[in-house]
Amino acid sequence: MVRNPLSKSANKYLRKFRKWPHSPYKTSWHHNFGEQQAMLILKQATIQPQTQNNNNPFLLSTLIDSFKAYNTDPTPKAYFFLIKTLTNNTSQLHDIPHILNHLEHNEKFETPEVIFLYLIRFYGLSDRVQDAVDLFFRIPRFRCTPTVCSLNLLLSLLCRKRECLKMVPNILLKSQNMKIRLEESTFRVLVEALCRIKRVDYAIKIMNCMIEDGYGLDDKICSLIILSLCEQNNLTSAEALFVWGNMRKLGFCPGIMDCTNMIRFLVKEGKGKDALEILNQLKEDGIKPDIVCYTIVLSGIVKEGDYVKLDELFDEILVLGLIPDVYTYNVYINGLCKQNNFDEAMKIVVSMEKLGCKPNVVTYNTLLGALSMKEDLGKAKRVMKELKLKCVEPNLHTYRIMLDGLVGKCEIGEACILLEEMMEKCFYPRSSTFDSIILQMCQNGLITDSVVLMNKIVAKSFVPGVKVWEALLLNLGSKVTYSETTFVGLLSPK
């Protein structure tokens, strides 16, 4: 039996029997396809020559027409693509306000906040801060509920420049009217930005406001404040210690890096005993200080001349099982040299080698400097010889220390040999030291040798002092005859 296709029992779900067939653009598949084709047209338009149409930017007209051709509405994704395209071309930035106006007045969808985050960041980094602020306050008009993300971004951009800081309080007040609730992240953004521009005083006030609002003390914020605090040039040690003490009262438990930063600052300010107190606090908190902390404190103790405490601290390092490095040994050797305890200092150098810590040029310079101050040239020569035997390369400071010592003892012969060695390495003496060498050579009747030395050092673009020329002019005529052109050659710039 053949069923009549027009009978009531026919399948009503077949398209041929439907009274109103579905439109092809009302299915999700066709809708997505239309959006994809419209976006494709828009992307192709970005690489084609642009013209104006109906008083609208070319790309905006293309966006509207492309989606209209496929009987669908423009999407947030399309507007975001359009805005990113315009920001990548400085000649098209003037079209952005047109895009925003159309998005505000002609579209109905809720605009994603990510679009405004992108534009606020772009404006801020392009030194268009006022545009960024205006866009932030305009966000609700785009059917978008602003969040703390937009606020944090705007605040971080404003705090990059000192002249924009005055705008921050007003924005914080207005953000409350926009129903944006300040979060811990907001305070962190403010503190980080203020520390970055060296306004630690404001950062501390923000931290206090954060605590007053019921938020817990953030260790990262405290550490950042301490680091920035210790980098200030106009801060006294008393002010730094006051902030440090207040933070500890609030419950901040500093870590080893925080203590190291504070210790380094106090030592730089000549407060070795205060640095030692910070070290003791670290131990009281149950944290074992590292060798860096001890080395910095040792250097502060040496500056203050508390040599009893120096020995105690060095012994404490060994008792705790810490391994001194070459910097620690150098500080300790410097302290021994300041006590004129050169024999013990030399023993420490020998111990360093046995323990696998090779002395460096600073180690030997410390010994040479102390021996030079004591005018013990004999021991200084032995140290210099040992330095070369240990294959440690002398630096400019090494040569200058030895040269000053030789000149001070009037050992001009060895001074001239050392000076020759220096010049081969492109090291030059102090002008006063060179003047003394020439003057002593003239006094000893070594006029010819002094002129030869002058020629060599002037050829290296080194300019001797006035006393040298006076000494040569006074002695040269009676000792040896030279043409005037010789002096012209010496005095003329190379």
Read off the pLDDT of residues 250-262 as tens digits, 9 standing for 90 and up.
888 999 999 999 9
pTM, two decimals, is 0.70
The mean pLDDT value for 68-86 works out to: 89
Tens-digit pLDDT profile for residues 188-212: 888 888 888 888 888 888 888 888 8
Radius of gyration of the chain (CA): 39
Contacts of 140 (CB under 8 A, 6+ apart): 146, 178
Q: How confident is the model at residue 457 (pLDDT cuts 50, 70, 90)?
A: confident
pLDDT of residue 194: 84
Which of 290, 361, 370 minimizes the C-alpha distance to 335?
A: 370
Phi, psi of 200 (to 5 degrees): -70, -30
The mean pLDDT value for 236-251 works out to: 90
Q: How far apart are CA 64 and CA 300, in angstroms?
A: 72
The mean pLDDT value for 72-77 works out to: 89
Phi-psi region of 218 (alpha: psi -120 to 50; beta: other; left: phi over 0): beta
Q: How far apart are CA 436 and CA 400, in angstroms?
A: 13
Q: How far apart are CA 311 and CA 347, in angstroms?
A: 15
Q: Token pair for residue 142?
A: 């785009």
Query: How would you class 229 by CB atoms within 10 Å of its CB: exposed for 0-12, middle for 13-18, buried for 19 or more?
Result: buried
Between 10-14, 184-188, 268-272, 297-301, the lowest mean confidence (pLDDT) is in 10-14
